[in-house]
Structure 1
Amino acid sequence: MHRPRALLDDIDTGPAAACAATEPREASRSDGIGPGSRAEHRAGGLRIGLFNVKYSPNLGDGLLAECIEAELKRVLPGLTVEAFDLAGRTDYVEGGRLRGTALRLLQSCPTPVRHGIARTLLGRSMSRQRPVWRARLAGIDAAVTGGGNLFSDADLNFPLKIEAAWGELRAAGIPTAVFAVGAADNWSETGAALFRRALAGTRILDASVRDARSAEIWNRRLGPSGAPPARVVHDPGLLVARHVPQVRRPGTTPRIGLGLTHPTTLRYHSDEAAVSERDLTAWYAALVRGCVARGWAVDVFTNGSPEDEAYLRRLRPTLAEAAPAGGPAMTFAPRFRNPSELATFVSGLDLLMAHRLHANIAAYSYGIPQIGFTWDRKLVSFFELVGRGDFVRTAGREAPETVLALAERGLREGLDRRRHAAILDEARADIAVLAEALRTGAGAGAATRREAHA
Structure 2
Amino acid sequence: MKILLIGERYSSNLGDSVICESVKYIVEKCNENIEINFADLSCREVMLSESSLIKYLYKIIRFSLRKLRKIGIANIDNYYINTIEYKYLIKSNYRKTKYDLIIFCGGQLFMDHFTYAVKYFMNYSIDASTNVIFNAIGNGMKFDSLTLTEYINIFKNKNIKSISFRDSFDFIKKLNEEYEFNVNPFFSFDPALFACEAYGQQPKHVTKINNIGLGVINLKDKFLNEHNVNIWIKLIALLNKGNYCCSIFVNGSNEDFDIAKSLYEKCTEMGLKVNIEEQPKSGYELTMMISKFDLFVSYRLHSHIIGYSLNIPSISISWDKKVSDFFAIIDRSEYNFSLQDNEIDIYDSINMMTLKIPQNDKIVNMKENILKDFKNYLGD
**Do the structures match in fold with TM over 0.5?**
yes
Correspondence for 1:370: 314
Contact 1:248–1:349 (CA under 8 A) maintained in structure 2: no
Distance 1:389 1:128, change over 3 A: same
Deviation at 1:194, TM superposition (A): 1.6
Give the one of 425, 433, 437 matched to 2:373: 433
Deviation at 1:180, TM superposition (A): 0.6
Q: Which residues in structure 2 correspond to 1:356-367 (within 5 Å)?
A: 356-367=300-311
Distance 1:117 1:429, change over 3 A: closer
- Following the alignment from structure 1 to structure 2, what is the Cα–Cα distance between the partners of residues 436 and 234? 15
Give the one of 61, 66, 89 matched to 2:21: 66
- Following the alignment from structure 1 to structure 2, what is the Cα–Cα distance between the partners of residues 164 and 376? 28
Q: Which residues in structure 2 correspond to 1:156-167 (within 5 Å)?
A: 157-167=113-123
Deviation at 1:118, TM superposition (A): 2.5
1:145 pairs with 2:104: yes
Q: Which residues in structure 2 correspond to 1:389-428 (within 5 Å)?
A: 389-395=333-339, 397-415=340-358, 417=359, 420-428=360-368
Where 2:362 maps in the other structure, the secondary structure is helix
Segments ≥4 residues shifted beyond 6 Å: 112-115, 247-253
Q: Which amino acid aligns with 2:79?
A: A
1:197 pairs with 2:153: yes
Where 2:189 maps in the other structure, the secondary structure is coil
Correspondence for 1:210: 166
Deviation at 1:393, TM superposition (A): 1.0
Distance 1:382 1:151, change over 3 A: same
Return the TM-score normalized by structure 1: 0.72
Contact 2:208–2:294 (CA under 8 A) maintained in structure 1: no
Give the one of 155, 175, 179 matched to 1:221: 175
Give the one of 122, 126, 130 matched to 2:83: 122
Deviation at 1:319, TM superposition (A): 2.2
Deviation at 1:242, TM superposition (A): 2.4
> What is the alpha-carbon root mean square deviation over aligned residues?
2.9
Give the one of 289, 295, 307 matched to 1:345: 289
1:309 pairs with 2:264: no
Q: Which amino acid aligns with 2:34?
A: L
Deviation at 1:430, TM superposition (A): 1.6
Q: Deviations over 1:379-436 (max 9, x none)?
A: 00000000001111124x3221111000111232111x3xx24323422432332233
Correspondence for 2:226: 278
Distance 1:368 1:139, change over 3 A: same
- Following the alignment from structure 1 to structure 2, what is the Cα–Cα distance between the partners of residues 255 and 361? 19
1:235 pairs with 2:190: yes
Correspondence for 2:134: 178
- Following the alignment from structure 2 to structure 1, what is the Cα–Cα distance between the partners of residues 328 and 141? 19
Deviation at 1:222, TM superposition (A): 4.0
Contact 2:3–2:35 (CA under 8 A) maintained in structure 1: yes
Deviation at 1:174, TM superposition (A): 0.4
Could you tell me which runs of 5 or more consecutive residues in structure 2 were left unpaired when the two chains were aligned. 49-65
Contact 1:143–1:174 (CA under 8 A) maintained in structure 2: yes
Comparing 383-392 and 363-372, the one that deviates more = 363-372
Deviation at 1:190, TM superposition (A): 5.1
Deviation at 1:361, TM superposition (A): 0.9
Instruction: Report the count of equivalent residues.
Output: 356
- Following the alignment from structure 1 to structure 2, what is the Cα–Cα distance between the partners of residues 342 and 414? 23
- Following the alignment from structure 1 to structure 2, what is the Cα–Cα distance between the partners of residues 389 and 250? 20
The share of aligned pairs that are identical, in percent, is 19
Q: Which amino acid aligns with 1:164?
A: Y
Distance 1:298 1:228, change over 3 A: same
Return the TM-score normalized by structure 2: 0.85
Q: Which amino acid aligns with 1:162?
A: V
Q: Which amino acid aligns with 1:305?
A: S
Deviation at 1:200, TM superposition (A): 4.0
Deviation at 1:253, TM superposition (A): 6.8
Distance 1:141 1:199, change over 3 A: same
Where 1:304 maps in the other structure, the secondary structure is coil
- Following the alignment from structure 1 to structure 2, what is the Cα–Cα distance between the partners of residues 198 and 248? 41
Distance 1:187 1:84, change over 3 A: farther
- Following the alignment from structure 2 to structure 1, what is the Cα–Cα distance between the partners of residues 43 and 20? 15
Q: Deviations over 1:80-125 (max 9, x none)?
A: 221111100239x9xxxxxxxxxxxx9xx99x99963322221133
Comparing 167-176 and 277-286, the one that deviates more = 277-286
Could you tell me which runs of 5 or more consecutive residues in structure 1 were left unpaired when the two chains were aligned. 1-45, 94-105, 268-273, 441-454
- Following the alignment from structure 1 to structure 2, what is the Cα–Cα distance between the partners of residues 79 and 66? 15
Where 1:129 maps in the other structure, the secondary structure is helix
1:295 pairs with 2:243: yes
- Following the alignment from structure 2 to structure 1, what is the Cα–Cα distance between the partners of residues 100 and 81? 32
Q: Which amino acid aligns with 2:343?
A: P
Correspondence for 1:261: 217
